[in-house]
């Protein structure tokens, strides 16, 4: 049986594992990353640490498993590294995708015809080059998959795939070449940019790993998660992590622009094979698991995330308590950075259980908002939504999602479906699996169906829409900002 080594670099941790042609994930290892916030809104990682830990964990997994035939790499998108190609050393910190230090730059650049967001790589790359004091032609740009491919190949590979290139703000429509206008405005020399390759295929050997297996997949995390849940020709998933991201298959037809649609969704490249691109859409909830962390770390209402399920189920309803999870603003569909979260309906009789239940219900309502936006954007009506991520273990949340969407909700048997997706893509890139094979591998751990009728659902959703308007434009000057 052909086996793939999956290397999964998330926002705060690295995971490695073996994925076989049955989709089974084994020999997994995990390590937290050092993430720092030197100033409010700034998020930094250590590129040297990322490369070192990836090599250490991958080697451990390979040694325990007796090797692998191919490698698939999936990564947090848009986290940016600029490095010296001679020494292989970064010229500064890795700027995390959440880093907001270039917000003002993004607003100023709109006057130059560039529509960029601070969570894209474009302005992060310029900031790092400027801080280095060197000419950009002497340096190299990398997102995490590029950085790992460089290090695992001993500097032989400087590449990025189309799913990552498509969201960094520097690529031309069609995701075949770099946007020369954007590079010129940002004063980034074309020499620093990696070669754009297919998501799947023979990319190059990972000579730093035992056996020097071929790298056959590079892919952004959300595309990997969708693939790992066997949504290859149709369907959608929501990954519930710190935030929540819906990704949905659209097909081979590309967009006429790379910026946000009126629905609040974005165009994304899900994958490419033999130069054929499969496109999708993506919608984002900015605060999901972050709300649970807030309940635990800041409010002290819970001691761990797992107890939220039993607390929510300990009361028959939230007794009128509601919560809008907008701790960092509202994403899809509103994109209101000035919105702020809020509890409503609290009385002297409201308890911790009522508040926790309201938080979970609010997160599920925002998940339903993503589904509604996807329906609006594509004109397609889903029958099922698949879910993964840490919060997918919470059955109360998943049941609420089924109730508020009116859809079946299928829970991934692999909670971190990104790892599985990276491995499966590597196997497809090698030719050990076909796309149809991957579609047939889906086997959810649970499937939940709606427990309320359509009339009740419509009433709940109407009440929710009215509630959201109460938190919009809390900070009007931020609400007026658009990226």
Residue 444 lies in a domain: no
Distance separating alpha carbons of residues 360 and 221, to the nearest angstrom: 24
28 and 56 fall within a common domain: yes
113 and 169 fall within a common domain: yes
Percent with pLDDT over 90 in the chain: 96
152 and 288 fall within a common domain: no
Task: Find tokens 């007796």 and name the residue.
Answer: 66
Check residue 375 and give its pLDDT. Answer: 97
Domain count, the chain: 2
Q: Six-digit token pair at 346?
A: 């609290």
Helix 352-378 crosses helix 454-469 at what angle (to 10 degrees)? 100
Residue 442 lies in a domain: no
18 and 117 fall within a common domain: yes
Q: Which CATH number goes with the domain that contains 210?
A: 3.30.420.40
Residue 465 lies in a domain: yes
- Strand pairing category for 244-251 and 3-9: unpaired
**Considering 221, 242, 260, which residue would you say is the last residue of a domain?**
221
pLDDT interval class at 102 (50, 70, 90): very high
Distance separating alpha carbons of residues 414 and 337, to the nearest angstrom: 33
H helices, E strands: number in the chain = 15, 21
What is the b/e burial string over 29-58, where b = at least 16 CB atoms within 10 angstroms of the residue's CB? Answer: beeebeeeeeeeeebbbbbbebbebbbebb
Residue 337 lies in a domain: yes
Distance separating alpha carbons of residues 245 and 364, to the nearest angstrom: 12
Residue 167 lies in a domain: yes
pLDDT interval class at 325 (50, 70, 90): very high
**Considering 221, 240, 257, which residue would you say is the last residue of a domain?**
221
Distance separating alpha carbons of residues 19 and 433, to the nearest angstrom: 12
pLDDT tens digit sequence for 288-314 = 999 999 999 999 999 999 999 999 999
Residues 269, 226: contact at Cβ < 8 Å? no
Q: How many CB atoms are located within 10 Å of the residue 6 CB? A: 33
141 and 38 fall within a common domain: yes
53 and 81 fall within a common domain: yes
Task: Phi first, then psi: give them for residue 205, nearest 5 degrees.
Answer: -85, 140
Residues 208, 200: contact at Cβ < 8 Å? no
Residue 432 lies in a domain: no
28 and 118 fall within a common domain: yes
Percent with pLDDT over 70 in the chain: 100
Residues 68, 5: contact at Cβ < 8 Å? yes
What is the b/e burial string over 215-228, where b = at least 16 CB atoms within 10 angstroms of the residue's CB? Answer: bbbbbbbbbbbbbb
Task: Please give the biggest Cα pair distance in the chain.
Answer: 66
Q: Which helix (H) or strand (E) holds 401?
A: helix 395-405
26 and 153 fall within a common domain: yes
Model's pTM, two decimal places?
0.96
157 and 212 fall within a common domain: yes
Res. 467: pLDDT tops 90: yes
Res. 358: pLDDT tops 90: yes
Res. 386: pLDDT tops 90: yes
Res. 7: pLDDT tops 90: yes
103 and 167 fall within a common domain: yes
pLDDT interval class at 53 (50, 70, 90): very high
276 and 182 fall within a common domain: no
Res. 236: pLDDT tops 90: yes
Task: Phi first, then psi: give them for residue 290, nearest 5 degrees.
Answer: -60, -30
Mean pLDDT of the 376-380 span: 96
Strand partners, 29: 16
Distance separating alpha carbons of residues 314 and 468, to the nearest angstrom: 26
15 and 151 fall within a common domain: yes
Check residue 428 and give its pLDDT. Answer: 98
Can you give the residue range of the structural domain that contains 63? 3-221
Mean pLDDT rounded to a whole number for the chain: 97
Mean pLDDT of the 146-171 span: 97
CA-to-CA dists, residue 339 to 72, 98, 301, 472, angstroms: 38, 18, 24, 4
Mean pLDDT of the 103-109 span: 95
pLDDT tens digit sequence for 270-284 = 999 999 999 999 999
Residue 192 lies in a domain: yes
Residue 121 lies in a domain: yes
Res. 11: pLDDT tops 90: no
Q: Six-digit token pair at 336?
A: 């209101």
Q: Six-digit token pair at 147?
A: 């950085």
Residues 143, 219: contact at Cβ < 8 Å? no
**Considering 221, 239, 262, which residue would you say is the last residue of a domain?**
221
């Amino acid at each position: 049986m052909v086996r793939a080594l999956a290397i999964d670099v998330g926002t705060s941790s690295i995971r490695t594992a073996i994925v076989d042609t049955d989709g089974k994930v084994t020999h997994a290892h995990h390590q937290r990353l050092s993430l720092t916030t030197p100033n409010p809104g700034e998020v930094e990682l250590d590129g040297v640490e990322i490369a070192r830990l990836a090599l250490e964990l991958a080697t451990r997994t390979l040694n325990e498993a007796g090797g692998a035939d191919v490698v698939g790499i999936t990564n947090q998108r848009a986290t940016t590294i600029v490095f010296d190609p001679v020494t292989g050393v970064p010229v500064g910190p890795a700027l995390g995708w959440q880093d907001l230090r270039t917000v003002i730059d993004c607003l100023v650049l709109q006057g130059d015809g560039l529509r960029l967001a601070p969570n894209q790589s474009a302005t992060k790359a310029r900031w790092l080059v400027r801080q280095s004091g060197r000419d950009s032609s002497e340096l190299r740009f990398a997102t995490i998959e590029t950085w790992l491919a460089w290090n695992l190949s001993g500097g032989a590979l400087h590449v990025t795939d189309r799913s990552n290139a498509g969201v960094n703000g520097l690529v031309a429509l069609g995701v075949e070449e770099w946007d020369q206008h954007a590079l010129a405005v940002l004063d980034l020399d074309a020499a620093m940019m990696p070669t754009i390759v297919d998501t799947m295929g023979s990319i190059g050997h990972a000579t730093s790993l035992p056996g020097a297996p071929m790298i056959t997949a590079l892919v952004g995390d959300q595309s990997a998660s969708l693939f790992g849940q066997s949504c290859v020709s149709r369907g959608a998933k929501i990954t519930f992590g710190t935030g929540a991201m819906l990704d949905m298959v659209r097909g081979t037809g590309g967009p006429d622009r790379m910026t946000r649609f009126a629905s609040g969704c974005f165009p994304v490249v899900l994958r490419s094979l033999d130069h054929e691109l499969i496109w999708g859409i993506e919608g984002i909830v900015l605060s999901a698991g972050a709300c649970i962390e807030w309940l635990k770390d800041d409010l002290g209402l819970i001691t761990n995330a797992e107890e939220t399920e039993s607390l929510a189920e300990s009361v028959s309803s939230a007794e009128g308590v509601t919560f809008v999870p907008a701790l960092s603003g509202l994403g899809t569909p509103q994109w209101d950075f000035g919105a702020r979260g809020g509890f409503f309906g609290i009385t002297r009789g409201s308890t911790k259980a009522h508040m926790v239940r309201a938080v979970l219900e609010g997160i599920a309502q925002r998940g339903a908002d993503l589904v509604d936006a996807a329906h609006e954007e594509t004109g397609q009506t889903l029958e099922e939504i698949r879910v993964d991520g840490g919060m997918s273990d919470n059955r109360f949340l998943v049941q609420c999602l089924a109730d508020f969407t009116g859809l079946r909700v299928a829970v991934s048997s692999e909670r971190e479906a990104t790892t599985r997706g990276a491995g499966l893509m590597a196997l497809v890139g090698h030719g050990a699996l076909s796309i149809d094979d991957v579609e047939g591998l889906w086997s959810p751990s649970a499937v939940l169906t709606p427990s309320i009728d359509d009339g009740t659902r419509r009433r709940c959703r109407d009440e929710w829409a009215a509630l959201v308007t109460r938190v919009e434009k809390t900070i009007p000057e931020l609400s007026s900002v658009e990226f």
